[in-house]
């Protein structure tokens, strides 16, 4: 199964989905999507590369109709850092000279050059405006939200880019992320090929002890957000530090539900969430 790869050879995100400039209406409206702008680290025009085997679902705006937009969809379920399913991606601003050469139904293999970044529409410079979601495109691929922004429409909902794309270090150089944390290809996440039911002393059903104060996260990795203390189980709150975020205290006994091995990291799921049990030679839970 293919992994969904970031689609440019240089990542240089110039505006994230929480940006206050042109993405505010996308993120703060309902439904929302999570667009990023990426100029590929150049003032010229770089290619968007197929993040997986895909086909073109729709092309809009070539000529004088409106801002140029293209929708692509995976040909089969693909692996992302947060799920395995079909993925649909919407890209805005490619110019006529590149979109006019494409057609709906055209197929591209993963890694193939598809189209160049552009400045069609209300763009201040060459870049890709990228939104991504789980599942197949719905309707004509977008809908207007409560803030008047046209957002991606997919069967499984829209996701932040760091939950959709892996960074393949052999393909993409990371220049700027605007604070977004992406998972490198080869570091598996929950439900993906790195998962296991046991690893050494870590196995489902085992009762272990925290050797340090530990953050509790929503998933197996630092790309997942820290939970708040209020999100812990009632028992978990009894063993947590006071404060906003969920931090279980050293000496807390926990029961393992799942084990996730990610390279040199071992993460375990407990009733309250996910904690790091081992990082390289450092053991936090035993």
Q: Where are the domains of the chain?
A: 10-184, 195-283
Rounded Cα distance between 128 and 260, Å, is: 34
pLDDT of residue 100: 94
10-184 and 195-283 in the same fold: no
Cα 29 from chain centre: 20
DSSP for 170-234?
TT-EEEE-TT--PEETT---TTSTTEESEETTEETT-EEEBSS-EE-BSSSSTTSPBPBGGGS-H
* The two three-digit tokens of residue 65, written as one number: 């109709």
SS3 label, residue 96: helix
| Residue 194 clears pLDDT 50, i.e. is over it | no
- What pLDDT, on the 0 to 100 scale, is given for residue 149? 94
Is pLDDT at 201 greater than 90 in this prediction? no
* Dist. CA 120–CA 173, nearest whole Å: 26
pLDDT single digits (tens) 86-114: 999 999 999 999 999 999 999 999 999 99
pTM over 0.75: no
Respond yes or no on whether the N-terminal peptide bond of residue 31 is cis (omega within 30° of 0): yes
Query: Residue 186 burial by CB count (10 A; 0-12/13-18/19+): exposed, middle or buried?
Result: middle
| Choices 3.30.70.3270, 2.70.70.10, 1.10.287.3510, 3.40.1800.10: CATH for 10-184 | 2.70.70.10
Structure tokens at 286: 């035993």
Contact 211, 249 (CB under 8 A): no
Average pLDDT over the chain reads 90
| β-sheet bridge partners, residue 151 | 143
What's the whole-number mean pLDDT along residues 58-72?
A: 92
pLDDT digits (tens, 9 = 90+) for 126-141: 999 999 999 999 999 9
Please determine, looking at this structure, whether the domain spanning 195-283 carries the CATH number 2.30.30: yes
**211-257 pLDDT per residue, tens:** 999 999 998 888 789 999 999 999 999 999 999 999 999 999 999 99
């Amino acid at each position: 199964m293919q992994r969904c790869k970031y689609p440019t050879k240089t990542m240089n995100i110039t505006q994230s989905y929480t940006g206050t400039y042109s993405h505010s209406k996308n993120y703060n409206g309902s439904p929302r999507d999570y667009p990023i702008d990426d100029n590929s680290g150049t003032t010229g025009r770089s290619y968007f590369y197929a993040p997986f085997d895909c086909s073109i679902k729709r092309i809009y705006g070539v000529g004088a109709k409106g801002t140029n937009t293209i929708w692509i969809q995976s040909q089969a379920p693909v692996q992302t850092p947060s799920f395995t399913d079909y993925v649909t991606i919407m890209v805005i601003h490619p110019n006529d000279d590149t979109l006019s050469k494409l057609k709906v139904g055209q197929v591209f293999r993963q890694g193939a050059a598809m189209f160049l970044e552009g400045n069609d529409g209300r763009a201040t410079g060459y870049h890709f405006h990228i939104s991504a979601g789980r599942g197949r495109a719905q309707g004509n691929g977008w809908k207007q939200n409560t803030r008047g922004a046209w957002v991606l429409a997919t069967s499984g909902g829209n996701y932040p880019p760091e939950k959709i794309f892996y960074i393949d270090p052999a393909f993409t150089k990371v220049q700027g992320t605007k604070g977004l944390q992406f998972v490198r290809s080869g570091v598996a996440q929950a439900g993906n090929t790195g998962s296991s039911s046991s690893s050494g002393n870590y196995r489902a059903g085992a009762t272990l002890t925290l050797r340090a104060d530990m953050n509790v996260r929503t998933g197996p990795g630092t790309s997942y957000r820290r939970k708040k203390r209020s999100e812990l189980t009632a028992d978990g709150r009894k063993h947590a530090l006071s404060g906003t975020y969920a931090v279980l205290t050293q000496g807390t006994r926990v029961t393992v539900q799942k084990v996730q091995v990610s390279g040199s990291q071992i993460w375990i799921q407990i009733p309250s969430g996910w904690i790091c049990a081992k990082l390289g030679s450092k053991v936090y839970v035993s």
